[in-house]
């Protein structure tokens, strides 16, 4: 049988979308802690997002990351799909993608927007059309129209909390940043561990009575996992660097500052390969395939959704969960609530790889198809992320 049970049943209730509402409650905004653990808030909070920091990978290599291991307070799920653009938006908005609408690595935006763009696919990470290397999509799919919700950072800013970003320079005004955070704040360009450490320390050392929130980002662990594979020597070396970064940041913070560290997803090594574009059974009745190698949104031609579901189910067998859009929504894959405009962005059929299977598109996604590590699906290795707190 291709699909057995709702994969949500085996995962924690708390998700990455609960982190910033908990922080905001500590700053005095309406609401309450949603993570199940306390996040102390005094004058400032630093949230360090380590791209690709999965809880299972961390536990398997605890000897390389004693600081991260020691201060892990609980485990959360990334949310579905477990991919960077979706997870960061869930973090910032404080809600899953059924609300914020960034439903995957790539997808066809809702009918109202797509009608002006010929239903072209949006790569939400790069904000490009059709593929990661395609032309910019910012003029056709303005970030603020794709993700129009008020973010937690906007609410914090309106309440008087100073918002700071410690991220690579290219992220300052990127379309994804505009969609995810919406609050401009004060930007401090930093890419290396040393630059991140120094910038964070400088920001929170200003004991002037101003409350501050700092969002910092480090992406090297995810990059090493994609290129060399999670658990590879290169990945392990980067994990040790991340642990040293967290230790140095924590050691340099004033007592009035809380450090929170989490990830946006985990990762699994690539295994069995099924190339969608070279499998005729997976193309019949299909208008567009989006998503990524572990989660595919399949958009059918008019009237063909049922046949496409049956063909993908039969062809993929036990290599993937294959469900209709309606079933995925009913079972809460995209959150307890899916807005009408967001539902239209979800594929008619969703195929989620099992085990280490990857569903590639060798022609359209040549780089992604050759990666050694992937994420997005329902396995605990991809879904579970640590919540690390130092105060």
Nearest-angstrom CA–CA distance, 146 and 104: 12
In eight-state DSSP terms, residue 15 is B
Nearest-angstrom CA–CA distance, 305 and 285: 8
Nearest-angstrom CA–CA distance, 153 and 92: 7
**pLDDT of 12:** 85
| End-to-end CA gap in the chain | 48
Nearest-angstrom CA–CA distance, 95 and 18: 8
- Give the chain's largest Cα–Cα span: 65
**pLDDT of 188:** 98
**pLDDT of 112:** 42
Q: How many helices (H) and strands (E) does the chain have?
A: 17, 18
**pLDDT of 311:** 98
Nearest-angstrom CA–CA distance, 253 and 383: 30
Nearest-angstrom CA–CA distance, 352 and 233: 28
Q: Residue 38 in 3-state DSSP? A: coil
**pLDDT of 113:** 43
Indicate the Cα dihedral angle 288, 291, 297, 302, nearest 10°.
Answer: -20
* Residue 251 tokens, joined: 């050691």
Question: Could you tell me whether strands 162-167 and 186-189 are parallel, antiparallel, or unpaired per DSSP bridges?
Answer: parallel
Q: What domains, with CATH codes, occur in the chain? A: 7-96+143-268+380-390 (3.40.720.10)
Low-confidence ranges of the chain (pLDDT < 50): 1-3, 111-117
**pLDDT of 33:** 75
Cβ density class 227-250: b for 16+ within 10 Å, e for less: ebbbbbebbbebbebbbebbbbbb
* Residue 339 tokens, joined: 């807005």
**Is 340 in contact with 348 (CB distance < 8 Å)?**
no
**pLDDT of 9:** 83
pLDDT tens digits, 160-189: 999 999 999 999 999 999 999 999 999 999
- The pTM of the full predicted model, rounded to 2 decimals, is 0.95
**pLDDT of 116:** 42
């Amino acid at each position: 049988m291709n699909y057995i049970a709702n994969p949500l049943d085996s995962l924690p209730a708390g998700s990455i979308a609960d982190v910033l509402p908990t922080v905001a409650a500590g700053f005095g905004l309406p609401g309450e802690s949603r993570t199940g653990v306390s996040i102390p808030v005094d004058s400032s909070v630093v949230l360090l997002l380590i791209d690709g920091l999965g809880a299972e990978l961390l536990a398997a290599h605890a000897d390389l990351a004693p600081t991260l291991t020691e201060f892990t307070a609980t485990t959360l799920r990334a949310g579905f799909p477990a991919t960077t653009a979706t997870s960061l938006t869930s973090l910032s908005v404080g809600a899953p993608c059924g609300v914020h609408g960034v439903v995957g690595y790539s997808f066809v935006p809702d009918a109202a927007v797509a009608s002006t763009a010929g239903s072209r696919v949006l790569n939400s990470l790069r904000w490009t059309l059709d593929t990661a290397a395609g032309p910019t999509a910012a003029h056709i799919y303005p970030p603020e129209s794709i993700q129009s919700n008020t973010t937690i950072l906007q609410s914090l800013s309106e309440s008087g909390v100073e918002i700071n970003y410690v991220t690579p320079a290219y992220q300052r005004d990127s379309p994804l940043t505009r969609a995810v955070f919406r609050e401009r704040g004060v930007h401090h360009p930093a890419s290396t561990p040393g630059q991140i450490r120094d910038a964070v320390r400088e920001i929170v050392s200003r004991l002037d009575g101003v409350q501050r929130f700092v969002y910092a980002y480090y992406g090297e662990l995810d990059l090493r996992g994609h290129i060399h594979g999670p658990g590879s020597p290169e990945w392990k070396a980067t994990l040790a660097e991340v642990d040293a970064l967290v230790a140095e940041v924590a050691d340099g913070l004033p007592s009035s500052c809380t450090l929170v560290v989490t990830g946006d997803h985990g990762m699994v090594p690539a295994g069995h390969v099924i190339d969608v574009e070279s499998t005729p059974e997976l193309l019949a009745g299909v208008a567009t395939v989006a998503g990524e190698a572990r989660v595919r949104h399949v958009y059918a031609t008019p009237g063909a959704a049922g046949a496409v579901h049956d063909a993908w189910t039969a062809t993929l067998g036990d290599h993937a969960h294959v469900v209709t859009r309606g079933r995925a929504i009913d079972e809460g894959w995209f959150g307890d609530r899916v807005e009408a405009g967001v539902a239209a962005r979800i594929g008619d059929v969703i195929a989620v790889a099992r085990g280490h299977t990857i569903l590639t598109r060798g022609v359209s996604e040549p780089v992604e198809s050759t990666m050694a590590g992937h994420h997005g699906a329902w396995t605990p290795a991809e879904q579970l992320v640590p919540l690390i707190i130092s105060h």
